[in-house]
Structure 1
Amino acid sequence: TWDEATAVLVGDALQALAFEMVSHPDVPARADLALTLARAAGGQGMVLGQALDIAAESAASPLNLDQITRLQAGKTGALIEWSATCGAVMAGADMAPLQAYARALGLAFQIRDDVIDVTGDTATAGKAVGKDAEAGKATFVSLLGLDEAIRRAGSLADQACDALSLYGKDANGLQQLARFVIARKA
């Protein structure tokens, strides 16, 4: 059964596997990769974002748009950025275009999550929906409205795709991923 506890364990196992893989002696720039992965997963990235999210649940006032954007840049955004840039790190290539892509993609992903929480159903989403509104949490949807949140996610996906323009057709897969992120139902 796939429940929240199982999902957490799978996430822990995959994170450990990622460290194992980037620490392999045959991996170029393995120290840099392990360090940046630790930052993305830890207190400067995903853990920080999750901690801010938990703190927001009991805050005296709801978060504003800038605070939500910062919170969401942690969470999965930090891991998306690491995933998108690690190939460039190994190749010694410029990672700026991939960073720009990943930052826009990560935020689009989180906005889409907020949209799914409002418009989705539990069976399709694979998780409980409506939790944010029930908890009184500020989200992109609650602050921007549903239509503007959807528009913002689309604009961020466009930015992500544009950041990869110098790669030409080689970026098609990553660009398709950006489109998938904003169209997904789960």
Structure 2
Amino acid sequence: MELKSYLAEKAKRVDQAIDGFLPKAKTKPATIHGAMRYSVFAGGKRLRPIFCIAAAEACGGDPENALPPACAVELMHTYSLVHDDLPAMDDDDLRRGRPTCHKVYGEGIAVLCGDALLTEAFLVLAQTEPTKRYTARDYVSELALTGGSRHLIGGQVMDLEGEGKALSKRDLVKIHEAKTAALLTSSLRLGAMTANATPAKLDALTTFGHALGLAFQVIDDILDVTQSTEILGKTAGKDEAVEKSTYPSLLGLEASRKEAARLTKKAMTALDSFGKKGDRLREMADNLLRREF
């Protein structure tokens, strides 16, 4: 199956699963459930859950078994976006081409929406079937560590504290390791765990996810200064407006493109041990690099 069809098929399957996991929009109190669904079904590409599923397939697993962690990762990702968009954080009015949650439902409901999505993520994750190597404890520990103060939340703290400051490349990498690379890496690891992956396979996917996550962020930074709001689906030039350090601001556009290519090559090399079973992951990584600069 060609990549475009694969991505569309898996995104549709993830959406179906999330629809089944989440409370219906009219479930009382309807306001919070409407806000949760508004935010989750706002047109995302489902990149992280599809990587979760592809990792399971690369390790010889059943993609259906990877659906609970795939959906849990997407719920955690959406919660982080809802909170990032708040006026107290990145203060953005657009997300995926639509008004952000707090613009539609108000700031209080947006905060609670994010809280609810994060909590729901673990309810969904708890439905993952254990394997010989991995138990519910392993799944929960993996996602909780990623979503906590050491990674996702810690990265947002560093990001907020870095506004208006000239950060070093090392500091910028630390932020994006925590904010972007960690969740992508966990997506891959969780998918592999549902397939009872060996420690060696898990290590290879960790290296792959870390490098690809950083490459993804470099490209996002490039797009922020080279594309329009209409194309991005979010406010273009936002990072520059709040004096946030980015790869282009530190390295320049051409050097940033080379950095994205270097990181993607590192990610590809990490998949060598998978042979042909890693081809789908390679295709997806290459597709990310070839986004319009």
- The aligned residue for residue 167 of structure 2 is 63
Q: TM-score, normalised by structure 2?
A: 0.58
- The aligned residue for residue 23 of structure 1 is 126
Distance 1:11 1:84, change over 3 A: farther
Matches within 5 A, 1:126-141: 126-141=233-248
Return the alpha-carbon distance in structure 1 between the equivalents of residues 120 and 267 of structure 2. 27
Counterpart pick for 2:216 among 109, 118, 140: 109
When structure 1 is superposed on structure 2, of 88-97 and 119-128 the one drifting more is 88-97
Distance 1:14 1:173, change over 3 A: farther
Deviation, 1:163, is 0.4
Return the alpha-carbon distance in structure 2 between the equivalents of residues 101 and 169 of structure 1. 16
- The aligned residue for residue 42 of structure 1 is 148
Q: Structure 1: where are the runs of 5+ without partners?
A: none
Are the equivalent residues in 2 in contact too, given 1:125–1:185 (CA < 8 A)? no
What is the CA RMSD across the aligned residues, in angstroms? 2.4
The answer on 1:82 being equivalent to 2:169 is no
Are the equivalent residues in 2 in contact too, given 1:124–1:185 (CA < 8 A)? no
Q: Secondary structure, in 3 states, of the residue corresponding to 2:143?
A: helix
The percentage of aligned residue pairs carrying the same residue is 32
Counterpart pick for 2:158 among 52, 58, 64: 52
Return the alpha-carbon distance in structure 1 between the equivalents of residues 213 and 100 of structure 2. 22
Larger radius of gyration: 2
- The aligned residue for residue 48 of structure 2 is none
Q: Structure 2: where are the runs of 5+ without partners?
A: 1-41, 43-97, 104-109
Counterpart pick for 1:73 among 177, 183, 198: 177
When structure 1 is superposed on structure 2, of 83-92 and 94-103 the one drifting more is 83-92
Are the equivalent residues in 2 in contact too, given 1:57–1:135 (CA < 8 A)? yes
Are the equivalent residues in 1 in contact too, given 2:163–2:245 (CA < 8 A)? no
Return the alpha-carbon distance in structure 1 between the equivalents of residues 166 and 139 of structure 2. 36
Return the alpha-carbon distance in structure 1 between the equivalents of residues 124 and 173 of structure 2. 31
Counterpart pick for 1:93 among 176, 183, 198: 198
More helix by share: 1
Are the equivalent residues in 2 in contact too, given 1:157–1:179 (CA < 8 A)? yes
Q: Secondary structure, in 3 states, of the residue corresponding to 1:74?
A: helix
